[in-house]
């Protein structure tokens, strides 16, 4: 199937939600679109960007149905081809399952494209299974100015965490913090989880000016929120960084 919007020059915003009832590959020709939201609700469905040359903002994620047969190689290949077309986008948003596939690619040593994004939003739970992908995206975004972390709990559309290579990869990086992660939910979160997750990301950015952390359902205790703020203040003093932080709690 080809979605050709060449003759729709006034259409600037496009939202695509490909669900489990759709079949066959989708090729997108949308040279005039500025803002794109793509959610694949069928992890076996192929999606290819033919022409998205005017996009300045993109939001991407994959939903996983328990009825799907997860084909990691297929998803990895598709996701990286999509990213090749989005190297010049100013604002990028990646969901949790998209980050998991990127982590798999990073663990396998697959090369990533470089990005010119000035703003990056990560919508994910605190999990070791998204860390490799996040770190690689940050390293490959040398012009990044604003990073938004929107934490959330796992839901039923999440790709199962079964890849043992991710933990092996993290151990090889000799990171001090990854041992505490596992999968963190609102009932077992501590300030050290959020602070360590933030620190891992901050250490991989050189040009960042602002970090926004939105904690959905996570921080039920005000004390945890205060501890995260104290940690950030200490981090700024230690690194002499001009970075600013905005912390908010949702729900």
| pLDDT tens, position by position, 113-171 | 999 999 999 998 877 788 889 999 999 999 999 999 888 765 545 555 555 565 565 55
Report the pLDDT value the prediction gives residue 219, as an integer from 0 to 100: 47
What mean pLDDT value characterizes the chain?
Answer: 79
Please tell me whether residue 152 adopts helix, strand or coil conformation: coil
More confident residue, 245 or 90: 90
Q: What is the mean pLDDT of residues 41-59?
A: 86
User: What is the distance between the alpha carbons of residues 208 and 34, in angstroms, rounded to a whole number?
Assistant: 24
Residue 179 in this model has a pLDDT that exceeds 50: no
- Of 59-73, 170-184, 189-203, give the range with the top mean pLDDT: 189-203
Report the pLDDT value the prediction gives residue 139, as an integer from 0 to 100: 93
More confident residue, 28 or 195: 28
DSSP 89-122: -SEEEEEHHHHHHHHHHHHTT--------SEEEE
Query: Integer distance in angstroms from the first to the last C-alpha of the chain?
Result: 40
Best CA proximity match to 53, nearest among 82, 30, 84: 30
Tell me the β-bridge partners of 12: none
User: What is the distance between the alpha carbons of residues 25 and 45, in angstroms, rounded to a whole number?
Assistant: 6
Give Dmax (Cα) for the chain. Answer: 55
To the nearest 10 degrees (0 to 180), the angle between helices 191-202 and 222-239 is: 30
Domain boundaries, given as residue ranges, for the chain: 2-250
Residue 184 in this model has a pLDDT that exceeds 80: no
The values of phi and psi at residue 109, to 5°, are 80, 20
Query: pLDDT tier at 189 (50, 70, 90 boundaries)?
Result: low
The values of phi and psi at residue 214, to 5°, are -110, 115
What Cα–Cα distance (Å) separates residue 17 from each residue in 39, 81, 116, 141, 191? 5, 18, 26, 27, 35
**CB of 65 closer than 8 Å to CB of 159:** no
Tell me the β-bridge partners of 149: 122, 213
Least confident range of 27-31, 170-174, 191-195: 170-174
**CB of 153 closer than 8 Å to CB of 125:** yes
Report the pLDDT value the prediction gives residue 180, as an integer from 0 to 100: 47
More confident residue, 242 or 66: 242
What Cα–Cα distance (Å) separates residue 200 from each residue in 8, 32, 131? 43, 37, 9
Least confident range of 59-63, 77-81, 178-182, 227-231: 178-182
Looking at the structure, give the CATH architecture of the domain made up of residues 2-250.
Answer: Alpha-Beta Horseshoe (3.80)
More confident residue, 237 or 182: 237
Report the pLDDT value the prediction gives residue 63, as an integer from 0 to 100: 78
pLDDT digits (tens, 9 = 90+) for 211-240: 888 876 554 456 666 777 777 777 777 766
What b/e string do you get for 29-56 counting C-beta neighbours within 10 Å, with b at 16 or more?
ebebbbbbebbbbbbebbbebebbeebe
Report the pLDDT value the prediction gives residue 198, as an integer from 0 to 100: 80
Angle (CA) 181 213 119, round 5°:
110
pLDDT digits (tens, 9 = 90+) for 75-125: 889 899 999 999 999 999 999 889 988 988 998 899 999 999 999 999 988
Report the pLDDT value the prediction gives residue 171, as an integer from 0 to 100: 58
Give the pTM. Answer: 0.84
| Paired sense of beta strands 126-127 and 146-151, if any | unpaired
């Amino acid at each position: 199937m080809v979605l050709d919007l060449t003759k729709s020059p006034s259409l600037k915003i496009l939202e695509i939600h490909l669900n489990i009832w759709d079949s066959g590959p989708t090729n997108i020709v949308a040279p005039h679109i500025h803002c794109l939201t793509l959610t694949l609700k069928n992890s076996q469905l192929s999606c290819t960007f033919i022409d998205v040359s005017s996009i300045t903002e993109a939001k991407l994620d994959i939903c996983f149905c328990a009825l799907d047969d997860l084909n990691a190689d297929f998803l990895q290949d598709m996701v990286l081809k999509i990213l090749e077309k989005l190297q010049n986008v100013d604002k990028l948003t990646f969901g949790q399952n998209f980050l998991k596939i990127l982590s798999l690619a990073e663990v396998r040593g697959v090369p990533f494209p470089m990005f010119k994004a000035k703003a990056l939003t990560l919508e994910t739970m605190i999990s070791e299974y998204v860390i490799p992908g996040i770190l690689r995206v940050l390293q490959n975004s040398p012009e990044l100015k604003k990073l938004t972390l929107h934490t959330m709990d796992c839901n039923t559309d999440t790709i199962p965490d079964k890849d043992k290579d991710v933990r092996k990869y993290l151990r090889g990086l000799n990171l001090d913090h990854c041992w505490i992660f596992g999968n963190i939910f609102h009932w077992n979160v501590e300030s050290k989880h959020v602070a360590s997750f933030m620190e891992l990301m901050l250490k991989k950015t050189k040009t960042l000016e602002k970090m926004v952390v939105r904690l959905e359902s996570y921080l039920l205790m005000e004390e945890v929120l205060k501890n995260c703020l104290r940690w950030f203040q200490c981090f700024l003093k230690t690194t002499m960084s001009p970075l600013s932080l905005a912390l908010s709690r949702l729900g």
